Amino acid sequence: MKKILAVFDGLKFSDSTLQYAVKMGIQHNAMITGVFLEDMTYSSRGIYQLYSEKEYAVDNVKHLVEEDRHERDAAVDRFENACKDASIAYMVHRDKQLAVRDLLKESRYADLLLLDASESMNRYTEESPTHFVREILEGTRCPVLLLPRHFTDIRRVFWLHDGSPVSIYAFKMFNYLLPVLNVLPMEIITAHFPGREDETVNSVLFKELVSLHTPHAGFISLIGQPDVEIPLFLRKQDKESLLILGAYQRNVFSMLFKPSMADVLVREHQWPLFIAHNK
């Protein structure tokens, strides 16, 4: 039985995460651990709302803290009820420490981590990928399924392959972890500038691996700049697709000059992204 972590912010509960988690639980016979990060430094209100010069200020703060606690309890209840309804194995971890560090530790002993791509673990709205999501992607010890804002059933898989070892690693991990999705139609997408095709994609070794793991896979080769052409192509496809991506960690230089493919795709909030790296 696989162990899947589903990460929740009790104050901004993600329905999408809950729906994907339950589905994964049924489909893969997995145990879902709901991780509720309840960082003490994070409340639903700003410091000025808590601040008051009136005499009963302390009571007021207590009241607001109480409200947050109720909301967090309600979120845990929703998760528990959904798991019970679907009769899947589940656990709840409520974590009061610093959110990111604890989650990364938890990921060591998990097979997959589900996370809403817009999760920020603070009360501000940030551009995706948020700092929180970035930190998770860089430090995680298990593959991550980054989820869109709205749940859609997965009926198709696209592997965005750039020829790198980490991209192949992600493909292998996808096959190991989610074998049920492995029977879905799958396309391997590569993109290159005209005349600069990556030969590894046509190599016998590569084809051999694909033919064993996903004999039904098709190949799509796009011409042009990958981080432009691939999103363009994907926007024309059905929404009900999952994307497999390698690398999130890249060297500092390339990070400065252009956002990674993952960043570009995360911003679209359209597809679940399966991201794995082995460092």
| Residue 180 engages another protein in binding (rule: CB under 8 A) | yes
Pick the binder of another protein from 121, 178, 188, 230 (CB under 8 A). Answer: 178
| Residue 85 engages another protein in binding (rule: CB under 8 A) | yes
Are 53 and 109 in contact, with CB atoms under 8 Å apart? no
**Amino acid identity, residue 89?**
A
Beta bridge partners, 244, equal 159, 274
- List CB contacts of 130: < 8 A, sequence separation 6 or more: 118, 119, 120, 121
CA atoms of 132 and 172, how far apart (whole Å): 26
Q: Mark the segment that binds another protein (CB under 8 A) among 51-59, 63-71, 124-132, 209-217.
A: 209-217
**With respect to another protein, which residue has the nearer C-beta, 55 or 153?**
153
**Amino acid identity, residue 135?**
E
Pick the binder of another protein from 54, 196, 236, 279 (CB under 8 A). Answer: 279
Pick the binder of another protein from 64, 100, 209, 222 (CB under 8 A). Answer: 209
Q: In a 10 Å sphere around its CB, with 0-12 CB exposed, 13-18 middle and 19+ buried, how is residue 219 labelled?
A: middle
Considering only residues 91-130, where is the footprint of another protein by CB under 8 A?
Answer: 105-106, 108-111
Are 6 and 93 in contact, with CB atoms under 8 Å apart? no
Residues that bind another protein (CB under 8 A): 1-3, 19, 22-23, 26-29, 31, 82, 85-86, 105-106, 108-111, 141-142, 151, 153-155, 165, 168-169, 172-173, 175-184, 203, 205-206, 208-209, 212-213, 278-279
